[in-house]
Amino acid sequence: MRRPARLLSLLTALTAAATFGAPAAATGSAGSAPAPHHPPGTPQKSPVAVGHGGAVASVDPEASAIGIRVLRRGGNAVDAAVATAAALGVTEPYSAGLGGGGYFVHYDSRTGRVQTLDGRERAPLSAREDLFLEDGAPLPFDEAVTSGLSVGTPGTPATWETALDTWGTLSLRQALRPAARLAARGFVVDETFRAQTAANADRFADFPASAALFLPGGELPETGSRLRNPDLARTYRELGRRGMDAFYHGDLARDLVRTVRRPPVDPAAEREVRPGDLTLRDLAAYGVKAQRPARVGYRGLDVYGMAPSSSGGTTVGEALNILERFDLGGMDATDRLHRVLEASRIAFADRGRWVGDPAHEDVPTRGLLSQEFADARGCLIRDDRALTSPLAPGDPRDPRACAPGGRAAPLTYEGTSTTHLTVADRWGDVVSYTLTIEQTGGSGITVPGRGFLLNNELTDFSFAPAGPDVPDPNLPGPGKRPRSSMSPTLVLRDGEPVAALGSPGGSTIITTVLQILVNHVDRGLPLHRAVAAPRTSQRNTAVTQLEPGLYDSPVRRQLEALGHRFARNPEIGAATGVQRLPGGRWLAAAEPERRGGGAAMVVRP
């Protein structure tokens, strides 16, 4: 592989790393915060690792270690990604697993191609626009979440099998075996898992299968205890033997459909849990979509992401196109963040009007990603004053400089759970994979005897039209995929990978990925420092979210003087990524603190 053109000093203990923007003067430790507490019996977490032979970064050390073992034994990036994702289904069951969906971005070093898999959940074929309406009014959000109504046909199992069949070297049985063993022996509960369980305890208690698994003896699992999931271990082994056909047909499919249509609620529970209308026909009709990625050029790089049904690739791409007109690397923090916030505000306005499932809606993907449209929208940005939200969208089919559009569509709520993993192998193949069951804990409903939670992905749809003159491409429909913000991203220079990244966090995923790219490319920060830097999130709302590192800084007051309004958010996103270094080395990057810190590992340090 070619050596990147510019080099940047990393840590004192590391050698020069490739960067792709203006050099940064500052260097520092791998993370600004001390390493989080590690329960005994778990692999050590580290936010950064550098070495040869491949790299894995995820939120969980058990999962990352499984991915590294696959690479060490000769598996490729796809093999390791599926094995890591299956392990996250054990240790991160509130964020991802068999009951959910996601988006898979793959770079093939043999062909130089980037390809993607849309494994997003689908609404039942019976779904209509009034899916979440009762007596003409939207359901309360929490009631919609904890119900069968919110459950879409899972896409994660089909994604794993499709990825392995298309690019992998392992069988599904081989890829699932380590996670099955992990589920059988259990994982050590940490403080983050216990806190997430506590936040869902009332919901879990109303479903006997969820309570038996996640509330042993009716109590929260103790930090340092071992949580086992023998049902999931059996499910993984069954899928390994029979293939994913067993998930979408047969006994497992019948168990899943029965759970959605007749949610198994404790008779003593007072919660009203509405049934869903998922059928065996819905499962049998599900298919992963292989599709072309979204792509934009930025500072001489090619940035690839997910095209719709995800809004990640188009919204990150439009914002980057808007920002390319500015010398962000030469600006101070206030001027740079002002422009990043405005570009994000504009891109979210256009996202709300135009992005939905292209199988059901006319989504102008090419127009949203065009430089012509970005230039027409970017002229709205002023140096001395912030824009006001909600900002009206533009029209990518007819770009006109600073032209007003229709009324703004409201921002739909997306749960801030989800998880992301990034993998690179010794041959230079790379995977960026975001997967989810939507809200932390999903629907709260575990399939009895199967060991996994079901998603609440359909609450990503708009519950009702915003108004008669406000087009909304994200209303429910038969077999429709709800709009997503997941943004698994690959960055190439001259056809070769230089970085890959992604994050959980609902619609803040887009702003997280955008800021990491700006930090890395424009500011010249090595990837682990770009991940660790404090974040903000502007999504065409009146108030912008700021993490404490920015909220407590002079930058906030300087931005407020331009008209920005802020609210404090303790944590935005939980990213992972990999960066290609000279000499065939990889840097794996994860969070030092967010969501308890992540786990970055390499095959050979």
Residues annotated as catalytic are 418
Alpha helices in 369-493 (DSSP H): 371-378
How far apart are the C-alpha atoms of 563 and 387, rounded to whole Å? 8
Measured on CA atoms in the order 193, 195, 200, 206, is the torsion positive or negative? Answer: positive
Q: What DSSP element (H or E) covers 323? A: helix 312-323
How far is CA 469 from its chain centroid? 32
Q: What DSSP element (H or E) covers 283? A: helix 280-285
Burial of 151-190, coded b for 16+ CB within 10 Å and e otherwise, reads bbbbbbbbbbbbbbeebbebebebbbbbbbebbbebbbbb
Instruction: Say if CB 536 and CB 546 are below 8 A apart.
Output: yes
How far apart are the C-alpha atoms of 509 and 420, rounded to whole Å? 10
How far apart are the C-alpha atoms of 394 and 396, rounded to whole Å? 6
Instruction: Say if CB 503 and CB 118 are below 8 A apart.
Output: no
Partners of residue 586 on adjacent β-strands:
51, 580
List phi, psi (to 5°) of 355.
-100, 125
Measured on CA atoms in the order 545, 546, 551, 556, is the torsion positive or negative? Answer: negative
How far apart are the C-alpha atoms of 477 and 102, rounded to whole Å? 19
Q: Count the helix, strand and coil residues of the chain and give each as a percent rounded to the nearest 5.
A: 35, 20, 45
- Tokens describing residue 485: 């913000």
Say which amino acid occupies 579: Q
Q: Please give the C-alpha separations between residue 131 and each of 209, 253, 283, 464, 505, in angstroms, as whole numbers.
A: 26, 22, 19, 9, 25
